[in-house]
């Protein structure tokens, strides 16, 4: 008759505590990233509904989660102009910081028009003023996050001239970021090559009599 084996000793308390801690951390991370995914999906829906991805959105569509760079591309307004109008010092400029966080940084408080950051009113006013009297601020290099419309406003080189020199269709493409445009039209060697080609177009335009 086989001798019964002794029962295995219970796991030390610290091991059980560590296992529970790992489970709690795992659940917490799942919830955290799940909430972020839902928020990103809602933001994407809002972008499409308002026409922010097509350059057709009204200034009333601006929200506190949007960044300076996002607004610059969506509304074809140069970043430097926005920084100037929002009175953001040069050494504190961060294109990826949201309007809501900038509003907190400068303690601007809420708008007198409603329960939202005051900086949104300032951004709306800046874009409206820019559209009435576009300002050419210059552009040292072309980046894939820029749109042709943005580049044209920043350099004074007409949108139709850029597209004509590239031999690309302008309809529906002027407000697309170059990384999206490059993929949509399957530009050879990708978006960065498209940005480099536009840089050459700009240089050629400046040399033209």
pLDDT attached to residue 162: 96
DSSP string computed for 159-196:
HHHHHHHHT---TTTTTSBHHHHHHHTT-TT-HHHHHH
Contact 149, 138 (CB under 8 A): no
Q: Is the pLDDT of residue 168 over 80?
A: yes
Q: State the chain's mean pLDDT as an integer.
A: 83
Report the distance separating Cα 154 and Cα 77, nearest Å.
8
Whole-number pLDDT of residue 153: 86
Q: Beta partners for 147?
A: 177
Query: Which tens digit of pLDDT belongs to each residue from 175-202?
Result: 888 988 998 889 998 889 999 999 999 9
Given a cut of 80, whether residue 163 has pLDDT beyond it is yes
Cα–Cα distance measured from residue 61 to residue 77, given in angstroms and rounded to the nearest whole number = 15
Find out whether 152 and 139 touch, Cβ atoms under 8 Å.
no
Q: Rounded CA gap, 99 and 114, in Å?
A: 16
Question: Would you kindly state where each structural domain of the chain is located, as residue ranges?
Answer: 59-132, 148-207
Vertex 118 angle, CA 117 and 122, to 5°: 125
Q: Which of 42, 61, 60, 65 lies closest to 52 in space, CA to CA?
A: 61
| Phi, psi torsion values for 204, nearest 5 degrees | -70, -35
DSSP 19-86: HHHHHHHHHHHHHHHHHHHHHHHHHHHHHHHHTTTTT---GGG--TT-BHHHHHHHTT--HHHHHHHT
Over residues 46-65, the pLDDT tens digits come to 778 888 777 788 999 999 99
């Amino acid at each position: 008759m086989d001798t019964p084996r002794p029962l295995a000793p219970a796991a030390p308390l610290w091991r059980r505590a560590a296992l529970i801690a790992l489970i709690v951390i795992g659940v917490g991370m799942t919830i955290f990233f799940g909430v972020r995914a839902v928020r990103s999906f809602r933001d994407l829906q809002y972008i499409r509904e308002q026409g922010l991805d097509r350059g057709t959105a009204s200034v009333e569509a601006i929200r506190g989660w949007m960044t300076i760079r996002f607004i610059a591309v969506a509304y074809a307004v140069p970043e430097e102009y926005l920084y100037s109008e929002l009175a953001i010092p040069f050494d504190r400029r961060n294109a990826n910081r949201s309007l809501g966080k900038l509003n907190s940084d400068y303690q601007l408080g809420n708008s007198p028009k409603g329960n939202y950051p005051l900086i949104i009113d300032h951004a709306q006013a800046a874009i409206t003023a820019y559209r009435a009297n576009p300002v050419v601020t210059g552009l040292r290099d072309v980046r894939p996050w820029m749109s042709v419309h943005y580049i044209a406003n920043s350099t004074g080189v007409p949108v139709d001239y850029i597209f004509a020199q590239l031999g690309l269709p302008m309809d529906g493409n002027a407000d697309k970021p170059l990384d999206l445009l490059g993929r949509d039209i399957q530009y050879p060697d990708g978006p960065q090559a498209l940005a480099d080609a536009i840089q050459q177009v700009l240089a050629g335009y400046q040399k033209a009599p």
